[in-house]
Amino acid sequence: MDILSFDIFLTLKRIFLAGWRNFLRDGGPSIATIFVILIPVALLSSLLIFKEANRVLISTLQEKADVSVYFKVETKEEEILYLKDELSKIPEVKEIKYISKEEALQNFIQRHGENQTLMEALREVGKNPFFASLSIKAWQASQYETISKFFDNSNFKDQIEKIDYYERKSLIENIFTLTSNINKAGITLFILMSILALLITFNTIRLSIIKQREEIRIQKLVGASNWFIRGPFFVQGAISGILSALICILFFALLFYFLDPRLKNFFPEFPLLLYFKTQIWILFLIQLLIGTTIGTISSLLAIRKYLEV
C-alpha cells in the first residue's frame, strides 16, 4: 500500500470512528432515530411480503376455480350429457364432470353428515333439493370467461339454474380491490413515516452539530478539510439506518418463526418462513437501502443548514 492510499484509508477510518462516537454520544436521540427509521423500513418490507402473499392467494383461487353449471329440475339427463359432449369440443375445456342430483345429495351427506342441524333441515325438506350439474375445468384461469360466455349464447340458456363462476369471479375481483386499497394506504403511510423519520433524524444531527461547534471550530483552525469535518455526521446518519435495517430483519425473522405454524392452517399455499428464508438477503438489502437513504439524506440537509464549513 502506497503512502497516498494509506492516508486515505487512515482518514476514512478516523471519519467512521468519529461518526460512531457521535452516535454513542447522543444516546437517547440516536436510539429514538433508529426506531423512527425502523417504521418506514418495516412498512415497505411488509408491503412487499403482502404483495407476494396476495399473488399466491389469487393464483391459488384461480387454480382451484371451475365453472359449475346447475340445471333446472325439469332438465333431462340426456340433454345435460349432450351439452357435456358439445362442451368437450371447446379447446379451452380441460375436463368436464357430470354430477347427478343423487350424487350431489350423497356428496353433501358425506361432507356434513355429522352436522345434525343440516341433516335435520334436509329431512324437513322431504325431497332432494340439489340440482344436476356440470363441473368444468379450463387449461388456464383466464379461459373461464370464454367458457362462461358459451352458456350465454347457447340454446341451453333457459335450462340453466345458475353458473357459480360469476360468484367466484366476484370474490377474486374483491380481493384485487382490497389489495389495491391496502397497497395505496400502505404506500401513503410509508411516505408519511419516511418524512417523519427524515425530520427526526435531521433534528438529531442538528443537535449533534450544535453540541460540537467548539470542537468543529478547533478542527478548522488546525486545517481539517471540509470532508473530514462533515464526514462523521454522514456516518452518524448512516449508522442509524443500518441498525434500523438489522433490527427490522431480526424482528421479521422472529415474527415469521412464530406466525408460520399458525398460518399454515389457514394458508398452506404460502409457507411464510420458507419464503422469508429464500428472500432474506433481498429484503435485507432493500431495508438497508431505505434506512441508509433516510439517514444520509437527513444528515446532508442538517449539514447544509447548520454546518458552515
Taking the alpha carbons of 21, 22, 25, 28 in that order, is the dihedral positive or negative? Answer: negative
For 101, how many CA atoms within 13 A lie in the half-sphere containing its CB?
12
What per-residue confidence (pLDDT) applies to 168? 63
Q: Are the C-beta atoms of residues 37 and 241 closer than 8 Å to each other?
A: yes
Q: How many CB atoms lie within 10 A of CB 171?
A: 11
pLDDT in tens, 55-91: 887 777 666 667 788 888 888 888 888 888 888 888 8
pLDDT in tens, 257-304: 998 888 887 777 788 888 889 999 999 999 999 999 988 888 888 888
Q: What gap in Å lies between CA 165 and CA 174, rounded to an integer?
A: 14
> Per-residue b/e over 246-271, b at no fewer than 16 CB within 10 Å?
bbbbeebeeebeeebeebeeeeeebb
> Would the pLDDT of 203 be above 70?
yes
> Would the pLDDT of 251 be above 90?
yes
Going by pLDDT thresholds of 50, 70 and 90, the confidence category of residue 197 is: confident
Q: Residues near 144 by Cβ (< 8 Å), separated by ≥ 6? A: 65, 66, 67, 138, 165, 169
Q: What gap in Å lies between CA 247 and CA 257, rounded to an integer?
A: 15
Q: Are the C-beta atoms of residues 92 and 141 closer than 8 Å to each other?
A: no
What per-residue confidence (pLDDT) applies to 165? 67
Longest CA–CA separation in the chain, Å: 102
> Would the pLDDT of 1 be above 70?
no
Assign a CATH topology to domain 66-164.
Alpha-Beta Plaits (3.30.70)
* Cell numbers found for residue 216: 468543529
Q: Are the C-beta atoms of residues 257 and 269 closer than 8 Å to each other?
A: no
Q: How many CB atoms lie within 10 A of CB 207?
A: 14
Give the start-to-end residue ranges of the domains of the chain: 3-61+172-306, 66-164
Mean pLDDT of 93-105: 85
DSSP conformation letters of 142-176: GGHHHHHHHHHTSTTGGGEEEETHHHHHHHHHHHH
Q: Are the C-beta atoms of residues 106 and 160 closer than 8 Å to each other?
A: no
**Bridge partners (DSSP) listed for residue 163:** 69
What per-residue confidence (pLDDT) applies to 222? 73
Lowest-confidence segment of 32-41, 42-51, 262-271 by average pLDDT: 262-271
pLDDT in tens, 114-159: 777 777 777 877 787 888 888 888 777 667 777 777 777 677 777 7
For 82, how many CA atoms within 13 A lie in the half-sphere containing its CB?
8
DSSP conformation letters of 216-268: HHHHHHTT--HHHHHHHHHHHHHHHHHHHHHHHHHHHHHHHHHHHHHHHHH-T
Helix residue ranges, H only, 97-155? 101-112, 116-125, 144-152
pLDDT in tens, 2-34: 565 666 777 778 878 877 888 888 778 888 888
DSSP state of 5: H
Grouping H, G, I as helix, E, B as strand and the rest as coil, residue 139 is coil
